[in-house]
A and B are shown apart, each in its own frame.
Chain A
Amino acid sequence: MSLSASLLEVERLSVAYGRVEAVREISLSVPEGAIVTILGPNGAGKTTLLNALMGILPARGRVRFAGRDLAIRTIEGRVADGMSLVPEKRELFVSMTVEDNLRLGGFRRRGTAAFDETLHRMWRVFPRLAERRTQLAGTLSGGERQMLAMARALMSGPKLLMLDEPSLGLAPLIVREIFRIVAELRDAGVSILLVEQNARAALELADSGYVLENGEVVLQGPAVDLRGDERVVATYLGIRAAAGA
């Protein structure tokens, strides 16, 4: 990994639901052009962290994106800055067509050449969506919904794409497809913050990673090191990986 500047810089971020702190003083950084993964069991605070980064949840601490402090930035302001979140629940416009969902994804760039260009690229990257262009988003399968949510998030031309459990509930073949696309996106210059349960796939793809437990970072480092770390192997990669390593 080169020593390029950090695109996203998070310092001592805490998020509380009432008096319960779901995320405690997390610091992390996403370098430009890197894939950073966040691992951890259910309830570790991974989704809470992403939602706070996107401005959906109020948080304490400092978040800088592309050199700008996000303290009072709204969700749509962060989208304009170049952040894009694919939320765990996808949040698609279910009663609208696949194409409308995509076009709305580029709402802020409507009427520009970049808008048309990105739309065409999305049809190429996600041929299954192109086949279902006029179908309502609510009628898509789980994998197709995930693809649509990703494509919609990419329509705004983000510098940083945040993916919340993109493989959740999907068949292995589709998961592989989605991870292949994530790798392509990185090669195209998009930085990625990837929250995953599927630690094996995530660590193969990522440049670096953080392990969250009970709202705190318990482990962090380059993905190569994490793949070899005993705790990670035991907890997240299982026996088979341990035998392989």
Chain B
Amino acid sequence: MDLSIALILLQDGIVNAAIYALLALALVLVFTVTRVIYVPIGEFVSFGALTLAALEAGRVPGTVWLLLIFGIAAAAVELWSLRQGGSGRRIVGCLLRNVVGPAIIAATVALLAPAKPGQLVQVLLALAVTAPLSLVLYDTVYRPLANATVLALLIVSVALHFALVGLGLIFFGAEGSRTAALSGASFTIGPVFVTGQSVAILALTAGLIVALYLFFDRTLVGKALRATAVNRLGARLVGISPLFSARLAFGLAGLIGALGGILVSPLTTIYYDTGFLIGLKGFVAAIIGGLVSYPIAAGAAILVGVLESYASFFASELKEVIVFMLIVPILLVRSYGTTVLEDEE
């Protein structure tokens, strides 16, 4: 291996790392706010990418149906919980949020899709269909379990992951898709050939991280999310509803996951089940950050991406093994003298 190969691998690793970093941040966000380990985050990568691919082909993406189905399911769950003493306003709000909202999104996509609008519109439509899916999934699956233990929530997450992979196969089919690059430009720096897509990934990831930082550091709503993570009871006592925080966290996570899929799909073919592996690598990074630290998780994502890239060069058949092995020493080190986020009594 010479320097130029090393640099190419490094570039590859860092570009992938950006995607892992996004997913790691989403996982940390959802876990700290709601104690849910959001295993299905990977499905949002797949769904985001496949939704965009369908829109590029002028088809109505399968995510539209998923959104409608889970919207109705969420409404059913909420109406059932309101069966005694639900005010008219809450029932109307529930229907607006879970049925009318998704229907409007679905109708917009169905109208615009055959016309093959420009790339930016397609990307926005893909995000608008995929991200809200996270909200209706929360309302359907996690909300009724708000007081469950971390372990129970994890088991539910794994089950939801399998369900979504199966639904992905039904609604998107078994064949993979690749989407058009966000930027067709390319240039060389020394020995390294850089594509516009890599630059777009890094720029959008960096932009999103800065935006998240500003959101958490400068806005009261962002601080309310942090407050919920720091002290759940304290947050409720000042009137921050856990439902509000959870919806915000799940919505953001869905958006980040879908964006990750849209960014990565020009680089690699995405199948209905590809997202899981990508999500798992984000999870490794999030674990290194103890599922609580955003900066450590983001830094660890770079480690994961670069390690994976070099591993695929030296021992390509073992690259996944090498990446996931990373967790073992890290957990050993972390188990000594670090603060652990305790399950609540």
Contacts and interface: CB of A to CB of B under 8 A. Distances in A.
Contact of B220 (A85, A92, A104): A104
A94 B242 CA distance: 19
Contacts of A56: 233
Interface string A142-180: 000000000011011000000000000000000000000
Contacts of B224: 104, 107
B233 A104 contact: no
A80 interface: yes
A155 B231 contact: no
B240 A104 contact: yes
B235, B236, B242 interface centre (most CB from chain A within 10 Å): B236
Interface in A191-244: none
A75 interface: yes
User: Quick one: which of A72, A75, A106, A155 has the most chain B CB within 10 A?
Assistant: A75
Interface stretch (A12-20, A39-47, A95-103, A120-128): A95-103
Given A93-B230, A96-B230, A107 B237 contact: no
Interface string B219-239: 010011011001101111111
Contact of B240 (A76, A85, A92): A76
A33 B230 CA distance: 34
Contacts of B234: 91-93
A155 B239 CA distance: 11
Given A72-B85, A103-B220, A54 B227 contact: no
Interface in B56-78: none
Contacts of B235: 93, 104
Interface in A75-90: 75-76, 79-80, 84-85, 87
Given A72-B85, A76-B236, A100-B223, A92 B241 contact: no
B223 A54 contact: no
B213 to A, nearest CB: 15
A56 B345 CA distance: 13
Nearest to A55: B236
A108 B221 CA distance: 10
A152 B241 contact: no
A46 to B, nearest CB: 17
Interface string B235-277: 1111111100000000000000000000000000000000000
Nearest to B232: A91
A107 B239 contact: yes
A95 B237 contact: no
B230 A94 contact: yes
A80 B241 CA distance: 10
A110 interface: yes
Interface centre among B227, B239, B240, B241, by most chain A C-beta atoms within 10 angstroms, is B239
B275 to A, nearest CB: 33
B220 A153 contact: no
B231 A91 contact: yes
Contacts of B223: 96, 100, 103-104
A85 B237 CA distance: 7
B237 A87 contact: yes
A77 B227 CA distance: 18
Contacts of B236: 74-76, 79
A105 interface: yes
A152 B226 CA distance: 16
Contacts of A104: 220, 223-224, 227, 235, 238, 240
A105 B238 CA distance: 5
Contact of A156 (B220, B230, B238): B238
Contacts of B230: 93-96
A236 B233 CA distance: 32
A216 to B, nearest CB: 27
Given A100-B223, A104-B224, A107-B220, A92 B238 contact: no
B244 to A, nearest CB: 8
Interface string B192-224: 000000000000000000000000000010011
Nearest to A90: B234
A72 B82 CA distance: 11
Contacts of B242: 76
A192 to B, nearest CB: 16
Contacts of B233: 56, 87, 91
Given A103-B220, A107-B220, A54 B238 contact: no
Contacts of A105: 238
A79 B220 contact: no
A156 B236 CA distance: 12
Contacts of A72: 85
A75 B228 CA distance: 14
A138 B285 CA distance: 28
B237 A75 contact: yes
A94 B237 contact: no
B227 A152 contact: no
8 contacts: A79-B236, A91-B237, A93-B227, A96-B223, A100-B223, A110-B220, A155-B238, A156-B238
Closest 5 CB pairs of A and B: A91-B234, A79-B239, A75-B236, A108-B239, A76-B241
Interface of B: 85, 220, 223-224, 226-227, 230-231, 233-242
